[in-house]
Amino acid sequence: MSEFSSPLLRSVLYVPGSNTKALAKAPGLGADALILDLEDSVAPEAKVAARGHILEALRQIDHQTLFRTVRINGMQTDLWRDDVTTVFPGLPDAITVPKVDHVDDLAELARLLDQLEGGQAPCPIWAMIESPLGVLNAFAIAAHPRVSCLVLGTSDLGEALGVEATPERESLQYALQHCVLAARAAGVAIIDGVFLNLKDADGMTAQCRQGVRLGFDGKTVIHPNQVVAANTAFMPAAAAIERAQRLVAAWQAARDRGEEICLLDGRLIERLHVRQAQRLLDLAQRAAARQTS
């Protein structure tokens, strides 16, 4: 069970660390969290400069209103250690690690973070699941004491499986649900993979709704135009919020009468339904606070 509390993560925007204009604009685009990227979106010759750009961005972005994580290069490379040591003085809210196949892949990073923190609050790890091995080992990875979130890399996963990329993702359904189960069993957050077709707004909306049904906490996005769709899909509807409020009130009234269950609109309500309703209300409250800030 993760010791870290989960932030609001409806939309998580990838921002290339080599693009200073994008880094400057990103905090005002409405996403709940940013993945400041040193990996796939940064050319090899731009990696060193991108580290400095991200360090500056971390120092400029208010961590109290926007969750900031840095995606380092993979643990299989000779780049990740310099990535971490360069950006860590900016106090990222998490380090995102690509292509995690085994929980042991995180051991060296965890040791380095121990050294860098020097008594500070521990920095969480976001582990990306992008391969068949990662899917099969998802629970062990999620249960690592540093891990607070799993992030699906569905494009790489689809390629590794040799399946066609379709908006409906029929061939990925088992893998997606397996990872959601792993995250929930470990008590960590989980973020869905990206939708690549920037011209297909309806497809983006449909895939976000699919992610909600599967149990994801939010979706990674690659363009500012996708932020609203993700925020909307992962935000409870007004009718659902109103019913959750009535449900909690009805059950509390029953408890005041010394009863543990009650009826609402003809349906039996017990404690587990109240927990579900309270989680929904908490999400709505955090989203409203995020919009205000």
**Are both 258 and 216 inside the same structural domain?**
no
Q: Is residue 56 part of a domain?
A: yes
Tens digit of pLDDT at every position of the chain (293 positions): 556 657 889 999 999 999 999 999 999 999 999 999 999 999 999 999 999 999 999 999 987 789 999 999 999 999 999 999 999 999 999 999 999 999 999 999 999 999 999 888 899 999 999 999 999 999 999 999 999 999 999 999 999 999 988 889 999 999 999 999 999 999 999 999 999 999 999 999 999 999 999 999 999 999 999 999 999 999 887 777 888 888 888 888 888 898 888 888 888 888 888 888 888 888 777 777 776 55
In terms of domains, do 254 and 174 share one? no
Q: Say yes or no: 208 and 244 in one domain.
A: no
pLDDT at 2: 59
Residue 254 within any structural domain of the chain: yes
The pLDDT value recorded for residue 237 is 77
242 within a domain of the structure (yes/no): yes
Which of 185, 209, 233 terminates a domain? The answer is: 233
Q: Which domain range does residue 271 map to?
A: 238-292
Q: Determine the residue type at 126.
A: W
Q: Residue 146 has what pLDDT?
A: 97
Work out how many domains the chain is built from and give that number.
2
Residue 123 lies in a domain: yes
The domain that holds 210 is classified in CATH as: 3.20.20.60
Q: 233, 262, 281 — which closes off a domain?
A: 233
Are residues 175 and 280 located together in one domain of the fold? Answer: no
- Tell me the two tokens of residue 200: 């297909």
- Can you tell me which residue has the tokens 């995102």? 96
Domain boundary among 233, 250, 274: 233
**229 and 253: one domain?**
no
pLDDT of residue 280: 80
Instruction: Give one DSSP letter per residue of the chain, joined into a string.
Output: --SSPP---SEEEEEETT-HHHHHHGGGS--SEEEEESSTTS-GGGHHHHHHHHHHHHHHS-TTTSEEEEEPPPTTSSSHHHHHHHHGGG--SEEEESS--SGGGGHHHHHHHHHHHTTSPPPPEEEEE-SHHHHHTHHHHHTSTTEEEEEE-HHHHHHHHT----TT-GGGHHHHHHHHHHHHHHT-EEEE-----TT-HHHHHHHHHHHHHHT-SEEEESSGGGHHHHHHHTSPPHHHHHHHHHHHHHHHHHHHTT-S-EEETTEEE-HHHHHHHHHHHHHHHHHHHHHH-
* Cα–Cα distance for residue pair 69/93, rounded to 1 Å: 5
Q: Are residues 41 and 96 in the same domain?
A: yes
> Does 266 share its domain with 147?
no
In a domain, 6, yes or no: no
Q: What is the pLDDT of residue 291?
A: 66
Q: CA–CA separation, 276 vs 254, rounded Å?
A: 17
Q: Are 153 and 129 in contact (CB under 8 A)?
A: yes
Is residue 5 assigned to a domain? no
**Residue 65: per-residue pLDDT:** 82
Nearest to 39 by CA among 50, 26, 29, 31: 50
User: One-letter amino acid identity for 266?
Assistant: G
